[in-house]
A and B are shown apart, each in its own frame.
Chain A
Amino acid sequence: MMDTTFFRKIFLFQDLSEDEIKATLSHAISREFSAGEVIIREGEPGGSMFIMCQGEVEITKALTLVLDEDTPKERVMIRLKAEDGVSFGEMALLENEVRSATVTASSHCRLLELKQEDFLHLIHQDPAMGVKLLLRLAQLLSRHLRKTNQDVVKLTTALAVSLGG
């Protein structure tokens, strides 16, 4: 029933064997969202990651802090399609922090939700597979960090240039 070649596109699963993917996904719960429904909301606590099976989502994130009501709210928007192998909320697997972006379903979506406790249980159960998963997760985080560092350099340069550097 489950098409593992589809889930092979997900970055987190790229090191896993077919059986391991099946084992991981057996812990996931299938969830459905209709268009316009908010899947996760920025700033709210969350403890699970999502894997997209079908549909399209829109990820928005505040770019600037809201200093007062007059400052325009700058937001970024990215659209993601299930076909491209999309997962989001991976950070919640490692820590109990608030969500860093808002994800809204822009069409009818079918997703798999993997809860943090199930994930931790899974890697304890099968440490060999757990290492592969954690390694991927670490790579994902380091990729995010590198991107963020680049963004900081861009922004500081832009700031320096605009202030007449």
Chain B
Amino acid sequence: MIRQHISAFIKALRRERVFVLMLAVISLVFLGAIGFFITEPGEGHWWDRFGRGAWWALVTLATVGYGDVVPVTLGGRVVGIFVILGGVLSLSLLTATVASIFVERKFRRERGLEPIKITQQILVLGWHEDVEIFLDQLLRRLTTKVPVVLVNKQPPEQMEALREKYAGKEIRYLWGDYSREETLLKANVQGAVKAIILAERHPEEDASQVDQRTLFTALTLKAVHPKIRIMAELLRLENRAHLERAGVEEVMIRGQYDSYLMAGAVSSPGFFRVITSLLTVEGQSLWAVEVPSRFQGRLVKELAAHLRERHQATLVALYTEGRALSLEDLLSEEPSAIDDFIRRKFAETKMTHLFGRAKVECQVNPPDNQTLAPHQYAVVIAAQRPNL
């Protein structure tokens, strides 16, 4: 990481010709030293006199001017004039260039033009009017300091305002078309853990075009980083199968739940409020927590009682993030020619993501007498995330 930074900095220095400028300064010192050596009388060995000349040239050039060594002859003073003028010019150029590199980097980062270097990040691809609500809820739900990278073409000022709003969180911004591979590479997709593709709609586009872009993005993401988990937002239900085929783990249809909510709200008053309050992070909300290993093999009612007594939380559902029966299960561990062949062929065609597709199995309102299996997650209603 540090090495990367240093090499990037050195590259920038080279690009801005800082080394040439440095060389100019050094040669100016050298020339000044020669000039001083020739024009000024002195005693001792020639290297002594030359050294004194170099010291004088450096002190003069840097506008320090100790005055411990001074030219007394006319020739020496003429040399001094050149060293002073050259020094002011080249040193100020050097300082300005180095400073400009830093300023430019800051500027580029704010504009979202600098490549993302962090890893383990969540990519939020695209933008629409509801993203701020999404971000707000997401950042409150993220337990650890997970970096979030926003990739879109919104004005940088808006992104800057967002970053200021969530100053404590790590939010990065990358400007660009997220359906293009180079943009995704700039967002360091290889290091990302999750990507969320939002249904960004441009004024002249219809819903199917938006979904198409979502599909292309999903395909590109999986091609670059087969293990990334993707959540995609679709506008049309009929496109769901395409995205699932592309390896997208979760597909959301925009507005899908509005109808459920409306129907519920009409039939039973208060229902709407209950659901809304459960969905938002404020107040009582739904949280997913990993069932601790000490509960494995014990009954659901024990976990429920523990949650109720210790954390004032109500157990609603259990789920496992198991894998569906996949190729990886089929292929044996021991070396076999056919298995190697299949693995190699899948790797060659970059389709390894088809191997082990994650499958979430959930059980709402699990019976009391069921035993808890390993690697289960509990969904609870609580005021905050219970720390089991």
Contacts and interface: CB of A to CB of B under 8 A. Distances in A.
Q: Which of B245, B331, B338 has the most CB of A within 10 A?
A: B338
Contact of A63 (B330, B341, B346, B349): B341
Contacts of B337: 61, 63, 76-78
Contacts of A164: 245
Given A74-B341, A76-B337, A76-B341, A158 B245 contact: no
B245 A154 contact: no
Interface string A133-162: 000000000000000000101110110011
Interface residues of A, number: 15
B261 interface: no
Contacts of B346: 158, 162
B351 interface: yes
B181 interface: no
B357 to A, nearest CB: 9
Given A78-B337, A161-B354, A162-B354, A153 B330 contact: yes
Contacts of A162: 346, 349, 351, 354
A86 B341 CA distance: 24
A78 B336 CA distance: 9
B342 interface: yes
A117 to B, nearest CB: 32
Nearest to B342: A158
A61 to B, nearest CB: 8
Interface string B333-353: 000011111100110010100
B315 to A, nearest CB: 36
A74 B327 CA distance: 21
Given A63-B338, A161-B327, A162-B346, 5 more contacts: A76-B338, A76-B341, A157-B327, A158-B345, A158-B346
Interface of A: 61, 63, 74, 76-78, 151, 153-155, 157-158, 161-162, 164
Interface of B: 245, 326-327, 330-331, 337-342, 345-346, 349, 351, 354
CB-based closest 10 A-B pairs: A76-B337, A151-B338, A158-B342, A161-B354, A164-B245, A154-B330, A157-B330, A63-B341, A161-B327, A154-B338
29 contacts: A61-B337, A63-B337, A63-B338, A63-B341, A74-B341, A76-B338, A76-B340, A76-B341, A77-B337, A78-B337, A153-B330, A154-B327, A154-B330, A154-B331, A154-B338, A154-B339, A154-B342, A155-B338, A157-B327, A157-B330, A158-B327, A158-B342, A158-B345, A158-B346, A161-B326, A161-B327, A161-B354, A162-B349, A164-B245
